[in-house]
Amino acid sequence: MAFDAIETPFAKIDKIIGGSATYVAYAASNFIKPVQQISIVGNDFPQAEMDELTSRGVELEGVEIVADKKSFFWSGKYHNDMNSRDSLVTDLNVLEDFNPVVPDSYQGAEFLMLGNVMPKLQLSVINQLKVRPKLIVMDTMNFWMDIAMDDLKEVLKKIDVLLVNDSEARQLSGEFSLVKAAKKILTMGPKFLIIKKGEHGALLFNENHVFFAPALPLEEVFDPTGAGDTFAGGFIGYLAKTKDISFENMKTAIIVGSAMASFCVEKFGPERLKEITKADIDERLNEFVQLVNFDIDLV
Amino acid sequence: MAFDAIETPFAKIDKIIGGSATYVAYAASNFIKPVQQISIVGNDFPQAEMDELTSRGVELEGVEIVADKKSFFWSGKYHNDMNSRDSLVTDLNVLEDFNPVVPDSYQGAEFLMLGNVMPKLQLSVINQLKVRPKLIVMDTMNFWMDIAMDDLKEVLKKIDVLLVNDSEARQLSGEFSLVKAAKKILTMGPKFLIIKKGEHGALLFNENHVFFAPALPLEEVFDPTGAGDTFAGGFIGYLAKTKDISFENMKTAIIVGSAMASFCVEKFGPERLKEITKADIDERLNEFVQLVNFDIDLV
């Protein structure tokens, strides 16, 4: 949970609520309650934002508030293609000493989403859980591959689903072909691998199976910040709602994640996620069905 | 119909049969016979290759053989990502004075595929046909947008389906967003637009409808040469076989085109296309069904 400053080719905002956990919670809470949040903020994090999350069934007992520090702050500028960006400022602030503690009331959680933080912290959360969750999903990024690959590989051994983008899959595996990369990563721990390709959709790999989910072709991407986290939140939220972790159901969960991400990019930060209704989500899911459905009589 | 020399990060071949018309014919002849070819070759084009095409139902009356010249020759080298390439040699040879003549026996053709050549030549073929075909599909490229945009726009007014890649769609429309690009291009003549995105699949646009077909995730792309032409051949071949030019059937035709293209890249030039059977095609189409099929109960 954090603050972001975002500049795109179209617009600019100096301060907006952000952070992986925020986006995951906004997306997942459309499908499952409660969402039990673990995070850390400073004295500057608005109570109104906390209340907004609480009203959606997000429990905040695991969110530490540090009285004498500021929340994590990130500032970034997107390039014209909206697929790449430069980080301008990264102020760790409260994140410097983050030591996540799982509240007793969270014990027994069946679905665990590990947002993109230091692998050691992800491992700590897993180790604090007395009963292993039914499904552990992990997000990570190239930065941790650069500076904490050994820790990251430890976490990989303990999870079920890994979420990375295409260049991260290549970095982690040392393979350029995504099919070869997936095969290698599936020997490192996770049984399922999701490779996110931004505007080009996402691939789900499991054993010898592969599923492809497109991204919705949009007239405009207003702000891609948080799209990956929103995807993750929709994905695990749908799985938690349906309590079915088969490959078949994960296909649907990826479509749900893609639909949620397609909302996220329509406005700055999580603004659009705060507005959407169940009817909006159903309509968007139907657009995905139309987008990829075809009839075929074999030749 | 031409000769190519191809270098990829994996292998190299000094001379192999190529050319848009060759790939289109190999792909389309799996679905419809006859394929009535219009092209030009020199005195060096092997009779065995002609016979191979004839045996598949490809009629060659419209293929001019120039006794004192050589066939078109292109040589290219692919970069490591296999998505981009440098042209090393382009010897026009017979193409310099190509003046396509539609044989009388080709009159009445219901499906016309205009391969990627000078727009003036595409226009000439359209104008020679006494009865307008049921469907005219056109391929083109950035090169013609650079040097013959006015001619290209003339052809656009007379066709039904335009095939371009993503950067060409952006160049033709002046829009970065592919959705906006598509809207603009659909005002220029064609009722349908297919935007090919290589390993990221293809989009079909028509009025307010959009369909997305993925590319099959492959362990290795051995040689991408001709994949776009093979896609086009599979697409129009399937439409000609089914005689149904609705948006719904074009969705299926794009999947068929993608399946054919996925074979093309497995070996040098059209080698793989010469080997495959009806059973291979059916199996590959089934892989596409598996790749994108999902069940969804709306939220």
Min Cα separation B279/chain A (Å) = 9
Does A299 have pLDDT greater than 70? no
CA atoms within 13 A on the CB side of A151: 16
Distance CA B142, CA B29 (A): 28
Lowest mean pLDDT among A140-154, B74-88, B129-143, B195-209: B74-88
Does B298 have pLDDT greater than 90? no
Which band of pLDDT confidence, cut at 50, 70 and 90, is reported for residue A80?
A: confident
Using an 8 Å CB-CB cutoff, list chain B residues near A263: none
Q: Which residue has the tokens 């989500």?
A: A281
* Residue A150 confidence (pLDDT): 97
Cβ-defined contact of B212 to A217 (cutoff 8 Å): yes
* Residue A61 confidence (pLDDT): 98
DSSP chain A: -EEEEEE-SS-EEEEEEE-HHHHHHHHHTTT-S-EEEEEEE-TTS-HHHHHHHHHTTEEEEEEEE-TTSPPEEEEEEE-TTSS-EEEEEEE-GGGGG------GGGTT-SEEEE-SS-HHHHHHHHHH-SS--SEEEEE--HHHHHH-HHHHHHHHTT-SEEEEEHHHHHHHHS-SSHHHHHHHHTTSS-SEEEEE-GGG-EEEEETTEEEEEPPPP-S-----TTHHHHHHHHHHHHHHHHT--SHHHHHHHHHHHHHHHHHHTTSSTTHHHHH--HHHHHHHHHHHHHHH-------
Dihedral angle over CA of B145, B149, B155, B161, nearest 10:
40
End-to-end C-alpha distance for chain B, whole angstroms = 53
Contact between residue A296 and residue A270 where contact means Cβ atoms under 8 Å apart: no
Find, among A63, A47, A57, A5, the residue nearest to A26 by Cα: A57
In the predicted model, what is the mean pLDDT of residues B222-237? 96
Contact between residue B169 and residue B178 where contact means Cβ atoms under 8 Å apart: yes
* Residue from the list B81, B197, B285 with its beta carbon closest to the beta carbon of A298: B285
Does A213 have pLDDT greater than 80? yes
- Whether a cis peptide bond, with omega within 30° of 0, leads into A34 is yes
Contact between residue A145 and residue A171 where contact means Cβ atoms under 8 Å apart: yes
Mean confidence (pLDDT) of chain B: 95
> How far lies A136's CA from each of A40, A148, A161, A193, A239, in Å?
21, 20, 6, 12, 11
In the predicted model, what is the mean pLDDT of residues B18-23? 97
Burial class (CB in 10 A: 0-12, 13-18, 19+), A45: buried
Mean confidence (pLDDT) of chain A: 95
Using an 8 Å CB-CB cutoff, list chain B residues near A214: 201, 212, 214
Does B57 have pLDDT greater than 60? yes
Using an 8 Å CB-CB cutoff, list chain A residues near B234: none
ipTM value: 0.86
Min Cα separation B180/chain A (Å) = 6
Cβ-defined contact of A296 to B281 (cutoff 8 Å): no
Distance CA A240, CA B164 (A): 42
In chain B, the percentage of residues whose pLDDT exceeds 70 is 99
The radius of gyration of chain A's CA atoms, rounded to the nearest angstrom, is 18
Using an 8 Å CB-CB cutoff, list chain A residues near B248: 294-295
Cβ-defined contact of A255 to B296 (cutoff 8 Å): yes
Bridge partners (DSSP) listed for residue A114: A138
Cβ-proximal residues to B240 (8 Å cutoff; 6+ apart), any chain:
B28, B31, B32, B110, B111
Cβ atoms within 10 Å, residue A84: 10
Distance CA B261, CA B215 (A): 9
Beta strand B12-18 with B2-7 is antiparallel
In the predicted model, what is the mean pLDDT of residues B203-213? 95
Dihedral angle over CA of B152, B157, B160, B164, nearest 10:
30
Tens digits of per-residue pLDDT, A139-153? 999 999 999 999 999
In the predicted model, what is the mean pLDDT of residues B23-48? 97
Apex A202 CA angle, A199 and A207, nearest 5: 165
* Residue B296 confidence (pLDDT): 74
Apex B119 CA angle, B115 and B121, nearest 5: 75
* Residue B277 confidence (pLDDT): 96
Contact between residue A39 and residue A19 where contact means Cβ atoms under 8 Å apart: yes
* Residue B180 confidence (pLDDT): 96
Does B264 have pLDDT greater than 90? yes
Find, among A209, A51, A220, A28, the residue nearest to B289 by Cα: A209
Tell me, yes or no, if B200 comes closer than 8 A to chain A by beta carbon: yes
- What size, in residues, is chain A? 299
Distance CA B78, CA A90 (A): 39
Tell me, yes or no, if A279 comes closer than 8 A to chain B by beta carbon: no
Distance CA B99, CA A80 (A): 43
Cβ-defined contact of A178 to B217 (cutoff 8 Å): yes
* Residue A297 confidence (pLDDT): 66
Distance CA B242, CA B252 (A): 11
- Comparing alpha-carbon positions, the chain B residue that sits nearest to A277 is B299
Tens digits of per-residue pLDDT, A171-206? 999 999 999 999 999 999 999 999 999 889 999 999
Distance CA A108, CA B27 (A): 56
* Residue A194 confidence (pLDDT): 98
Using an 8 Å CB-CB cutoff, list chain A residues near B292: 211-212, 292
In this prediction the pTM is 0.91
Cβ-defined contact of B176 to A291 (cutoff 8 Å): no
Residue A3 token pair: 């603050």
* Residue B295 confidence (pLDDT): 78
* Residue A121 confidence (pLDDT): 97
Distance CA A9, CA A79 (A): 7
Tens digits of per-residue pLDDT, A219-276? 888 999 999 999 999 999 999 999 999 999 999 999 999 999 999 999 999 999 999 9
DSSP designation for B189: S
DSSP designation for B70: P
Residue B165, SS3?
strand
Which helix (H) or strand (E) is B13 found in, with range?
Answer: strand B12-18
